[in-house]
Amino acid sequence: MKNNSSKIFISVLCITLVSSLAFFRSFSAARAQQLPAPGKVEVRSVEPFVYCSLGREGSFSEIESTVGELMQHMQNQNVFPTGAMIGIYYGDPGLTDPDRMRWEIGFPINEQAQVLAPLEKKQWVISQVAVSVHQGPYDTIGETIQKIQEWLEENGYSQAGPILERYLDPDPSRASSGGFKTEIWIPCVKR
């Protein structure tokens, strides 16, 4: 069952990302800053961006249906992505109580785009983040997040906001799960 759910998620993600590949490439070119090597952590300044999303509370068991619902609402509203799919995770970063986790899945969009409920139009305004790239299956991203948090502690930083993930593979069906790349941002401040 879990394997089937993973395949469905990857299929939905594949369709989503392939449909936004042209937008992703233009967004990536504008952000031409080189990503750190997988596993390496760097503190960087990032530019604000506008995005639309669907928010949820609880475990990530609804992620596949949420991605599908997000895409359907964006299509119905003629809202077009300008970058890679993102996930933003609030609250307990250690997931000690997954049923209380708040999270959202979305896409960067044009600032002038009009968005109707249940989609929400928001702006990422946090400018300083610790950045790392996770390479591997999506269900092991928590290991990279833990390494970033350990790095922050060791280098005199504190987490200062929600965790953001950017799913960098435009077509996950063409890569093995061991090769998936996800850029992770953790807002931080120097103590």
Give Rg (Cα) of the chain: 16
Overall average pLDDT of the 48-55 stretch: 97
Looking at the predicted structure, is the pLDDT value of residue 29 above 50?
no
Task: Assess whether pLDDT exceeds 90 at residue 6.
Answer: no
What does the mean pLDDT of the chain come to? Answer: 83
Q: 34-43, 47-56, 105-114 — which is least confidently predicted?
A: 34-43
pLDDT of 77 strictly over 50? yes
pLDDT of 175 strictly over 90:
no
Residue 32 has pLDDT above 70, yes or no: no
Determine which helix (DSSP H) or strand (DSSP E) holds 28, and give its type and residue range.
Answer: helix 21-30
Identify the band that residue 93 occupies on the pLDDT scale cut at 50, 70 and 90: low
Q: How far is CA 155 from the centre of its chain?
A: 24
Which range is least confidently modeled, 45-49, 92-96, 105-109, 180-184? Answer: 92-96
Lowest-confidence region among 70-79, 83-92, 111-120: 83-92
Q: What domains does the chain contain, in order, with CATH numbers?
A: 2-190 (3.20.80.10)
